[in-house]
Chains A and B, each alone.
Chain A
């Protein structure tokens, strides 16, 4: 089994000795990964730490994130120094860019090689790209538990292969666990409906692991309801734990629009939607500039990650953005966590580009609403982000993705910015206050800690589990 590449406790203090309760937090995407989920993970770990727990975070090595969306070390600065981080030497082979690491067969038949890799991964766990991590994750959790007996395992997905390691620790050591499922697994958040059936291999894994969970967290009501409907026995354990925003990401003040110089609209987040989606928004923006003199002298800045591996910042999205430079569009790359407030503070309005529909809320919507800036929605009309935005006084609601209608939204945003008042901004910020990340997570973390403290209502013997699931092993 590959050994953890590093074990760190930022303050240099040794791991706790068992006097305090111990949480193993399986959180792939923990800082310094430059991923949106890192904020939620950081806050979760910090809250357990503040409640007096020893926290060991299990994640993957920095090299893995360098291959994907990169690193943001400013994110790590906000991690409680008492938290121990175990990094596993797991990387996505398909994102390898060092050609010396390629076999000749891979260079000659990349598709065939990838198909073979996916097949091997799925043999271990039914999840492409990550299934092959199962043995390392399982051994890592057992090893961490052996070193420092855990009172609770909190597993956050994706990747869903984490469920296999969670199950193994439960099977062998009866460590109670909860699953922060965020966007869920069997729910197709983009297309809507079911991603796989209950009797599929993935379905069997999900139902088996969830049924033993102390709690199952989801990021919004539609996903939570999906799981309550799918697993009625779990209904009272499924909780909505929204993402929220970090207050240090929000500018204290935003700038006063300079109508003579033109506005700056911004988008901040991963550019993970289809190229046609981006093209529709950019086309809408171009039409709006032709029709609105204020927008004609305005700019649209896109910040965030584009592409991964060899295709990083070298894909169709980049081409579209470059082609739109004549329309005042620019791409400025990712923004470190520490520079978020400054970036939001340099914009006059925000463009919220989101894929998916009623099952997707996204993390960035909370930050967007908290800035006090007008928000132009560019997503499906029936999108859960709208539930967060509803009541926001500076919101231009979603109109779908027809460029003509998006152009009208941009025009509306320009008019809104031109006559915006400080009272309206204050009202917008007030609207967002209930969505601070800490406020969203605190009740759930406290509840989970209480459950473990009381011993919970979970089954206590393997036979109990078999009775519930009808199977002891996936």
Chain B
């Protein structure tokens, strides 16, 4: 069973369907910071976002582009935001309510446990990269 056939539809649709609002950020605006309690996830609709470990960090860990989901890893692993997310350019983000997202996750406990195991593996393989 190849994964490719699932990619085009599923990858984007679910997150957009669950979003009811968008928000604009100007260049260098802080989207969220390390340690903040998660209330929302964000999908990049347009523009770029930089992921930084802390405010003083000079090196960018990641530059995230259209389609990336901010806060996904932190939500699945049930932790606070683990990175600072800063708008690298003017950015348009779709907002996903964390509570609704988590309800969907927990709707099937076995599937959720597989997703969580996958998230843990990814987080171990690439520590300190994803938020």
Partners in one complex: no
**B interface with A by C-beta (< 8 Å):** none
